[in-house]
Amino acid sequence: MRKLLGQFLRFGVVGLGGLVIDVAVFNLLRITILSPDVLHEGPMVAKVISTTLAIGANWVGNRRWTFATAGRIGAAREGLEFAVVSVAGMGIGVLCLWVSHYVLGYTSLLADNIATNVIGLALGAVFRFALYRWWVFRPGRGLLAADVALGATERAKRPAGIAPLHRVQTVATVEDRAHRND
């Protein structure tokens, strides 16, 4: 439970950095070149751009810090899985914005921020944390088949990038020839 809490707190810190990027870029775009006065779909496009930038920052933070002790698979595969989960999480925030802005008719800057950066973010964060933890960065995923067969979890327990200096192997005992004829 303690490990889960620590991971969740690190996830929150990384997410806070992503939130700053997301909110800053969203609002900058929303009040300038992607204002609804300039482009009807401007808030939606602004949200997709800002969240995409935040996803990139979160990928690095989560891979290097939040889930650093998880077993590693290839970075490309892990990145693709991270992107799938992140895009689905982004969809939650964009859906909240769409419902608020286009269905309910709340079109102010404040309403757009509450819909996407409060409600959408909270729902998306729970969704993303669960899938990152139990799918993308699942402990032991990157262990070699031989390690799994031997029950070794050394790779999942040590920080990423630190290799053992040697492996301990069991050796059959050598019979003492001097006492063989006793």
Lowest-confidence pick of 5-9, 47-51, 111-115: 5-9
- What local confidence, expressed as pLDDT, does residue 180 receive? 55
Q: Rounded to an integer, what distance in angstroms lies between the CA atom of residue 167 and that of residue 105? A: 64
Q: What percent of the chain has pLDDT over 70?
A: 75
| d(C-alpha 87, C-alpha 136), whole Å | 14
Residue 138 confidence class, pLDDT cut points 50, 70, 90: confident
Long-range interactions of 97-103: CB distance < 8 A, separation 24+? 97/43, 97/44, 97/47, 98/44, 101/43, 101/44
Instruction: Compute the average pLDDT of residues 150-159.
Output: 48
What is the total residue count of the chain?
182
